[in-house]
Amino acid sequence: MTDIYQSNERQTRHRVCLVHYHEIGLKGHNRKKFEQQLIQNIEGILKDSDIRIRRISGRICLFLPDNSSFNESCAIADQIAGIPGIARVSSGYRCAQELEEMYETACMALRDAKDFYTFKVQARRNHTDFAIDSMQLNQLVGAALCRAFPDKKVAMKNPDVEVRVEVIQGSTYIYGRSIQGIGGLPVGSAGKAVCLLSSGIDSPVATWRIARRGATCIGVHFSGRPETSSTSEYLVQDIAEVLEKTGCFARLYVVPIGTYQREISAIAPPELRVILYRRLMFRIAERIAIHEGAKALVTGESLGQVASQTMDNMLVVNQSVSLPIYRPLIGFDKIEIIDEAQQLGTFDISSQDAPDCCTLFMPRNPETHAKLFKVLEAENDLPMDQWADEAFSNVETHLYTCPSYKLPRSERKALKDQSHN
C-alpha cells in the first residue's frame, strides 16, 4: 500500500472507502502525527491487500483495486470500523469536480443501495475554489437523482438512503453507505500500557477502553498453574485474538503463580491473602512494564464489585508499585460492563467456567478495609520481591498483530546480535 497517488489519476472515478474521524480533528499542530498513526494502523490491518491509502483534508481515503464491487467495499469498511480513532467509514466513489460526472457518480452511489424508496442529498463544499456552493450543489445533484429515479421519493427526514457529496481538494467524494466506527484515538498515540487480563468479563473491556484512548496494550495473565488447569490461559488467548482484530493488542505474557499463592496461603493471615496475591501480581506486572517501556498498569476493577475492590484495598495494592494504575471501569456497574463485553465480542468467551488464580485458596472472610501496616507486617515473612523476579524470568509470551507495537529495546538488540553471529 502507498500514500502516493499520481496526479493524472486524480480525476478518474474510483471506488473508495472514506475514513472520518472526530477527536483527531480537534488536535492542533500535532494532528498530522495522529493521522499518520491511524494510517499505519489501517495499513497493518489491511496488510495483504492492494488498497492504496491517501490522507486528504480532514479524511483518510482508501482507494480500492480496480473493478472492486460494492460488497467488497462494504467488507473493507466493516473490517476497519473497529479500529480506534475511526468515527465513521463510508463506501462510495471519488470523481472529478465536474457536474455531469457528479450526477452520474451520485446515481451509482444510490444504485448501490438497491432496496430503498426514499432518499436525500447532503452536499458539502470544503473550499471556495469550486464555484457552486453547498446549497446549490444539493439542489443540482438532488434534481439529477430525481430524474434518474422517477419512482423514488425525496424525504428530508429519516430517508432510506442519504447520498453525501463532499468536494475536497480538487476531487469529489460521493457515497450512500456510511457506518459508525468506535471513535477514540489511534492505538500507539499514547504509548504502551500493561493490562492485567483474566478470562473474566471485566478486564477485556478495561483493556479495550484504554486502547481506545491510544494505548498499545500488553496483556499479563496470571495463571493458577500448577495448582489449577491451564483452561483460563486458552480463554485469554481467545480474548486476545478478538482484541487483535482491532490492532490494539500486541503481546500476552502468561505468568503461572499458583505455587506462590500456595505459599502465601500457608503463611499469611487468611483475611489478607487476596491483598497479598494482588500485591505480588502488581509487582510482576510492573517488572513487565519496565521491560516493555510501558507507562502504566491497567486493571478491570470496579469500585465495590468484590471484596478486593474497595477504596482501602485498592490503596494498599497501589502502594506495592510506583507506576500509575488506571482503572477504566471504576465507576461502571456489572450490567454496563456486560453490555460492553457483548459489543466487543468477548462476553461469550468470558462466560465459560475456568479455574484461575482469582479463585485459588480464597479465604472465607477476606479483608475489605486493609491497613497498610498490617499488610507490610505479613509481607515480612514472604520473599515477595524474590518471587516477583523469579516469576518475571519465567514468563511465557505470545505475540499478536499490532501495527503500533515495537519489541522492547533489549529484545531488539538481542535479535540484532543474533543476526550478526
At 11, is the pLDDT very low, low, confident or very high (cuts 50, 70, 90)? low
Per-residue pLDDT at 419 exceeds 80 = no
| Cα 181 from Cα 173, distance rounded (Å) | 19
pLDDT tens per residue, range 14-28? 999 999 998 998 888
Kindly state the cell numbers that stand for 264.
502465601
> Hey, which bits of 57-125 come out as E strands?
59-63, 88-96, 118-125
**What does pTM read for this prediction?**
0.90
Question: Most distant CA pair in the chain: distance in Å?
Answer: 85
pLDDT tens per residue, range 152-187? 999 999 999 999 999 998 899 999 999 999 999 999
| Cα 234 from Cα 252, distance rounded (Å) | 12
For domain 192-416, the CATH superfamily is HUPs (3.40.50.620)
Helices (H), 157-218: 202-211
| Cα 313 from Cα 290, distance rounded (Å) | 24
Range 7-180: architecture per CATH: 2-Layer Sandwich (3.30)
Sheet bearing 171-180, strands edge to edge = 52-56, 59-63, 14-20, 88-96, 171-180, 161-168, 118-125, 153-154
At 363, is the pLDDT very low, low, confident or very high (cuts 50, 70, 90)? confident
Which of these, 409, 416, 180, 202, lies nearest to 300 by C-alpha position?
A: 202
pLDDT tens per residue, range 202-231? 999 999 999 999 999 999 999 999 998 889
At 4, is the pLDDT very low, low, confident or very high (cuts 50, 70, 90)? very low
Per-residue pLDDT at 128 exceeds 50 = yes
pLDDT at 186: 97
pLDDT tens per residue, range 380-413? 999 999 999 999 999 999 999 999 999 999 998 8
- The residue extents of the domains of the chain are 7-180, 192-416
pLDDT at 239: 98
| Cα 30 from Cα 24, distance rounded (Å) | 10
